[in-house]
């Protein structure tokens, strides 16, 4: 285990890039990855290092970036008015960092860097260390230059590299650790004598080598985790990598995935034993799945807690709801925010339920809308039932007590209450309360006309 530095750790995140290749009005570091901004993933990892300070260098669209993290109190925002290169960007953050601190430099568009690699890097004993990698293709990366003794002598950017240097496989990730004092000295010695006319942070390594300063390299465990996102294609590749990681975590927790490549996690997921998830499932926000839960194909869950032995059938959508034990939902059901289902409830195909509570054993098996309702235990709601909860201005509540039977094609015009064990005949429109143990029927009189002829299409 490498000896740990004794200085306080400060993290500098470079995030001033405009992201023009994204072709988006949204700043690059706010592009979504796993359902949240790229930068938030990197911040989660950075915070696990327990730094004394986090300094984020921002440039264009700085207001939008800061607005996305208004609930965060541990960030020192640093504005880079002119984009003069990575070396210049780091210099903007140095005044806020103590002279005796250790500095870790990260990049906002590299969100999946592993904690293990950063711990190895910050655990080195030298004053200057960098993280390198061995990708399948070094195209586009600065090459690591070493002498005959394999000591690092510098880094050359691809645009400035010779044909021989372009053959080098080991490349720079841009991530480094240095003492504040040394980093400040080295940055004051770099110049912009290169093809981009910028102050490259990487130039500090050749200067350090010339001064006889030891440079230590830590090779990343997996180069894929160090990929950046400069355009939509690279962002999509990061998304797939992230989702692969999430799928692996689910399977490690005991979840059976029909196809690990066809599940998307866009939040946090807590699972019990023997959870099974079919293909094309999206899990957003905070999702809790208890033992033996089955999630069918094409299901979308957002901020949902689902009790054990419950089945959510194909192509159902559940949001901001609490589902009890041994329930059955779908297929093609929509459970909207504010819904609480007790145990053994059935919400069947093409049923929409919103801001309602349903007690144990009740069921709406198909083709119904239930909104702003309180439904008791063992209630049966027939096909085509609608709680008419909205008068165009206000929402009103429907109360259906225990044991009620609602016939098919019924409209319950709220506010209305159906008493315990009452029955509502099919095809009724109920506008007044129904007493317990009562049959309520509201239908127009049926008329049968003998000898009636259907219209016949007229000839031209």
Higher pLDDT among residues 4 and 193, named by residue: 193
Residues 6+ apart with CB under 8 A from 276: 255, 256, 258, 293, 294, 295
Least-confidence region, from 2-11, 78-87, 375-384 = 2-11
Per residue in 448-459, pLDDT (tens digit) is 999 999 888 888
Q: What is 210-260 written as a DSSP string? A: HTT--EEEEE-S-GGGG---SSHHHHHHHHHHHHHHHHHHHHHTT-EES-G
Give the up-direction half-sphere exposure of residue 127: CA atoms within 13 A in the CB hemisphere. 17
Closest listed residue to residue 59, CA positions, set 103, 113, 112, 108: 108
Closest listed residue to residue 180, CA positions, set 381, 319, 9: 9
Query: Is position 366 annotated as part of the catalytic site?
Result: yes
pLDDT at 432 over 90: yes
Paired tokens of 271: 């699972």
Q: What is 58-103 written as a DSSP string? A: EBTBHHHHHHTTTT--SEEEEE-SS---HHHHHHHHGGGS-TT-EE
| pLDDT band (50, 70, 90) for residue 5 | low
DSSP code of residue 320: E
| pLDDT band (50, 70, 90) for residue 132 | very high
Q: What is the percent of the chain where pLDDT is above 70?
A: 99
Structural domains in the chain?
9-226 (3.90.550.10), 256-440 (2.160.10.10)
What is the bridge-based pairing of β-strands 152-156 and 143-146? antiparallel
What would the mean pLDDT of 329-344 be, rounded to a whole number?
A: 98
What would the mean pLDDT of 73-92 be, rounded to a whole number?
A: 92
Residues belonging to the chain = 460
Residues 6+ apart with CB under 8 A from 452: none
Query: What is the b/e burial string over 248-274, where b = at least 16 CB atoms within 10 angstroms of the residue's CB?
Result: eebeeeebebeebebbbbbbebebbee
| pLDDT band (50, 70, 90) for residue 1 | very low
Task: Identify the pLDDT of residue 294.
Answer: 98
CA-CA distance, 204 to 91, in Å (whole number)? 12
Neighbouring CB atoms inside 10 A of 357's CB total: 15
Residues 6+ apart with CB under 8 A from 228: 107, 109, 110, 234
Per residue in 394-423, pLDDT (tens digit) is 999 999 999 999 999 999 999 999 999 999
Paired tokens of 137: 């293709």
- Would you call the peptide bond into 415 cis, given omega within 30 degrees of 0 as the criterion? yes
| pLDDT band (50, 70, 90) for residue 149 | confident
Per residue in 206-218, pLDDT (tens digit) is 999 999 999 999 9
8 Å CB contact between 222 and 135: no
CA-CA distance, 158 to 339, in Å (whole number)? 56
pLDDT at 2 over 50: no
Task: Identify the pLDDT of residue 3.
Answer: 45
Paired tokens of 170: 């080991």
Query: What is the b/e burial string over 304-341, where b = at least 16 CB atoms within 10 angstroms of the residue's CB?
Result: bbbbbbbbbbbbbbbbebbbbbbbbbbbbbbbbebbbb
CA-CA distance, 119 to 28, in Å (whole number)? 26
What would the mean pLDDT of 428-454 be, rounded to a whole number?
A: 94
What would the mean pLDDT of 27-42 be, rounded to a whole number?
A: 95
Query: What is the b/e burial string over 157-182, where b = at least 16 CB atoms within 10 angstroms of the residue's CB?
Result: beeebeeeeeebebbbbbbbbbbbeb
Residues 5, 10, 41, 366: which is the catalytic one? 366
Task: Identify the pLDDT of residue 6.
Answer: 63
What would the mean pLDDT of 248-262 be, rounded to a whole number?
A: 97
φ/ψ (deg, to 5) at 90? -65, -40
Per residue in 151-168, pLDDT (tens digit) is 899 899 888 899 999 999
Q: What is the mean pLDDT of the chain?
A: 94
CA-CA distance, 265 to 323, in Å (whole number)? 20
């Amino acid at each position: 285990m490498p000896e740990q530095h004794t200085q306080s750790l400060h993290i500098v995140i470079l995030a001033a890039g405009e992201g023009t290749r994204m072709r988006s009005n949204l700043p690059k570091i706010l592009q979504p990855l796993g359902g949240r901004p790229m930068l938030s993933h990197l911040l989660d990892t950075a915070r696990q290092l327990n730094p004394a300070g986090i300094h984020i260098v921002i440039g264009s669209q700085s207001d939008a970036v800061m607005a996305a993290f208004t609930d965060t109190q541990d960030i020192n925002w640093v504005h880079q008015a002119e984009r003069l290169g990575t070396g210049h960007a780091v210099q903007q953050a140095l005044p806020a960092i103590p002279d005796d601190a250790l500095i870790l430099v990260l990049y906002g568009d590299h969100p999946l860097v592993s904690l293990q690699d950063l711990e190895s890097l910050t655990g080195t004993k030298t004053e200057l260390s960098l993280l390198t990698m061995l990708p399948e293709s070094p195209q586009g990366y600065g090459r690591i230059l070493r002498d005959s003794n394999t000591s690092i002598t510098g880094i050359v950017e691809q645009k400035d590299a010779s044909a021989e240097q372009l053959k080098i496989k080991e490349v720079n990730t841009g991530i480094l650790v240095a003492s504040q004092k040394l980093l400040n000295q080295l940055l004051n010695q770099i110049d912009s004598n290169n093809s981009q006319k910028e102050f490259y942070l990487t130039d500090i390594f050749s200067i350090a080598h010339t001064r006889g300063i030891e440079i230590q390299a830590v090779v990343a465990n997996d180069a894929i985790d160090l990929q950046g996102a400069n355009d939509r294609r690279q962002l999509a590749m990061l998304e797939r990598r992230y989702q692969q990681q999430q799928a692996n975590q689910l399977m490690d927790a005991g979840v059976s995935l029909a196809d690990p490549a066809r599940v998307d996690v866009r939040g946090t997921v807590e699972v019990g034993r023997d959870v099974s998830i079919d293909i094309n499932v999206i899990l957003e926000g905070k999702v809790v799945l208890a033992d033996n839960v089955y999630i069918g194909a094409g299901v979308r869950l957002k901020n949902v807690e689902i009790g054990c032995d419950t089945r959510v059938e194909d192509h159902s959508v559940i949001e901001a709801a609490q589902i009890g034990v041994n329930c059955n939902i779908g297929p093609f059901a929509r459970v909207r925010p504010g819904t609480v289902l007790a145990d053994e409830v059935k919400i069947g195909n093409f049923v929409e339920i919103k801001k309602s509570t349903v007690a144990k054993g009740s069921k709406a098996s198909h083709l119904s809308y239930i909104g702003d309702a309180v439904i008791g235990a063992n209630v049966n709601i027939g096909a085509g039932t609608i709680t008419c909860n909205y008068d165009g201005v206000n929402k009103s509540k429907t109360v259906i007590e225990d044991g009620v039977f609602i016939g098919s094609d019924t409209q319950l015009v709220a506010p209305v209450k159906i008493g315990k064990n009452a029955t509502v005949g099919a095809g009724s429109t109920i506008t007044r309360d129904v007493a317990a143990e009562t049959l309520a029927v509201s239908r127009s009189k049926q008329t049968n006309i003998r000898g009636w002829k259907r219209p016949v299409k007229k000839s031209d």
